Amino acid sequence: MALSCVQWLLVLGMLVTGSINTLSKKAQNDSKVKGVPVPGPNGTEVAEEHDFDHPWFQTVIMFIGETCCLIGLFIQRKRERDQFRRQIMQDFNQEPIEALQQGRVFQFIFAVPTICDLFGTTLAGIGLLWVNASVWQMLRGSIIIFTGILSKIFLKRKLRGIHWTGMVVTMLGLVLVGISSVFNEEDNDKKDVKKSILGIVLILAGQVVSSSQMIIEELFLKKRKFPPLQVVGMEGSFGVFFMVALVLPVLYFIPGDQPGGRYENSIDALYQIYNSPGLLVFCLLYLSSIAFYNYFGLAVTKSLTAVHRTLIDACRTIMVWLVSLFIHYVVSEDFGEPWDNTYGILQVDGFFFLMIGTALYNELISFPWIPCLRPQPPEDTDPTPEAASIQATQDSDERTPLLSGDT
């Protein structure tokens, strides 16, 4: 199917905003900026330069970006009301018109998946502190495995041989990517290796939580057919409230390694953003990319297919990797990531295994001569975990939830 000019623009928009999301988040972590002044020698206060290690604060930025999706929802609803009024004027004194159904935007039920979104995103964000952006992007492909297993357990979905094969191939790809990260020649001491392993574990744990979020959304929200922009926007609103009113204040008083002996010093994060225009730009790019990615993702889901979504995600991973290499070698060695001459090839191999696993799980490729890998007969429409398969290549940071029948 040849894509129209508009569809190409949507694909390009989704690819660019998705890549900006990952790159801008990693760029924040790589930024070294003076933060909040702390007591120094002789009773003076000193503002020391240090890394922007604030994954919990980054989650707040993400939720603000998701909340911006409510703007799109309100515009969409206004257009529906205007169209309804025009229809009434045109069909006046003729056949009765079905009433316009626009439910209440605020729903407490959105608080449940928001909690999963909060912890899933933050765990993966902490992991990003100790791995490269390309590795982080690839490891998030593990969501296929966890979503498939959880949908089998809680949604009673029937997984056929092609789905299990896709998950096994994906697992093999994850192992190769993980090995390339752990034995990266840049991480030449035991401390860096331990941090890399911890980062990988946290990223995978984040994907388990994000998979749980998808299952919860399907169990409690899908039947109500909420507009996707409403789901993302309301989860963002609840997320901002939870983080500002509860999580960040609690983390501020927990002992840790950040300035002032805090576990998560959000005041320090604000000081760093204020002291660095570049860091402010990275934060704004991260925020806006989340909002726009959800818009482009929704439009692509409506007008294209799962094949296109899988190809876009593959191109996004490649773009993140290539741009990271370009930034490191051309722009600044303080940002991006270097090529590992020893284990880089393992990451390449792992990437291809991840793409093949994703394609198998989504039934984009099949092997008719192998019984367990034959395509699904058209008369049987239930066994394929459709919602999970389309969602399986997406991130918790920027999601287009498949909760409405028209998506």
Domain that holds residue 370: 17-36+51-90+105-391
Q: Does 57 map to a domain?
A: yes
Tokens of 195: 């941090």
Q: Which two tokens stand for residue 267?
A: 């005041």
User: Over its length of 407 residues, how does the chain's per-residue pLDDT go in tens digits?
Assistant: 567 888 888 889 989 999 999 999 999 999 999 999 988 777 778 888 999 999 999 999 999 999 999 999 999 899 988 888 887 777 665 665 666 677 788 989 999 999 999 999 999 999 999 999 999 999 998 998 999 999 999 988 888 888 999 999 999 999 999 999 888 755 556 667 888 999 999 999 999 999 999 888 888 777 788 888 898 999 999 999 999 999 999 999 999 999 989 999 999 999 999 999 999 999 999 999 999 988 888 778 777 765 677 678 778 889 999 999 999 999 988 899 999 888 899 999 999 999 999 888 888 887 777 776 666 665 444 444 444 433 434 455 655 443 333 33
Contact 324, 337 (CB under 8 A): yes
Q: What is the 3-state secondary structure (H, E, C) of the chain?
A: CCCCHHHHHHHHHHHHHHHHHHHHHHHHHHCEEECCCEECHHHCEECCEEECCCHHHHHHHHHHHHHCHHHHHHHHHHHHHHHHHHHHHHCCCCCCCCCCCCCCCCCHHHHHHHHHHHHHHHHHHHHHCCCCHHHHHHHHHHHHHHHHHHHHHHCCCCCCHHHHHHHHHHHHHHHHHHHHHHCCCCCCCHHHHHHHHHHHHHHHHHHHHHHHHHHHHHHHCHHHCCCHHHHHHHHHHHHHHHHHHHHHHHHHCCEEEECCCECCCHHHHHHHHHHCHHHHHHHHHHHHHHHHHHHHHHHHHHHCCHHHHHHHHHHHHHHHHHHHHHHHHHHCCCCCCCCCCCCHHHHHHHHHHHHHHHHHHCCCCCCCCCHHHCCCCCCCCCCCCHHHHHHCCCCCCCCCCCCCCCC
Q: Which two tokens stand for residue 273?
A: 């953003």
How far is 220 from 114, CA to CA, in rounded Å? 13
pLDDT attached to residue 184: 77
pLDDT attached to residue 384:
43
Strands 32-34 and 255-258, how do they pair? unpaired
Tell me how far CA of residue 256 lies from CA of 88, 189, 259, 266, 267, in angstroms.
62, 23, 8, 13, 14
- 46 falls within a domain: no
pLDDT at residue 6 in the model = 84
CB-based burial of residue 133 (10 Å sphere; 0-12 exposed, 13-18 middle, 19+ buried)? buried
Handedness of CA 213, 215, 216, 221 (dihedral sign): positive
pLDDT at residue 393, as a whole number: 40
Pairwise CA distance, residues 82 & 278, whole Å: 42
Whole-number Å distance between alpha carbons of 102 and 330: 51
Rounded to 10 degrees, the C-alpha dihedral 307/144/214/139 comes to -110
**Assigned domain for 4 exists:** no
Q: What's this model's pTM, rounded to 2 decimal places?
A: 0.86
CA distance linking residue 323 with residue 47, whole number of Å: 32
pLDDT at 387: 42
pLDDT for the residue 113: 92
pLDDT for 383 equals 41
Note the pLDDT of residue 217: 84
Compute and round to an integer the Cα radius of gyration of the chain.
Answer: 23
CB 53 within 8 A of CB 245: no
Structural domain includes residue 406 = no
Q: Note whether residue 187 is domain-resident.
A: yes
Rounded to whole angstroms, the maximal C-alpha distance in the chain is 86
Which tokens go with 271? 């000081």
Q: What is the pLDDT of residue 41?
A: 73
404 φψ region: left (φ > 0), alpha (ψ -120 to 50), beta (else): beta
Count of structural domains within the chain: 1
Is the residue at 255 inside a domain? Answer: yes
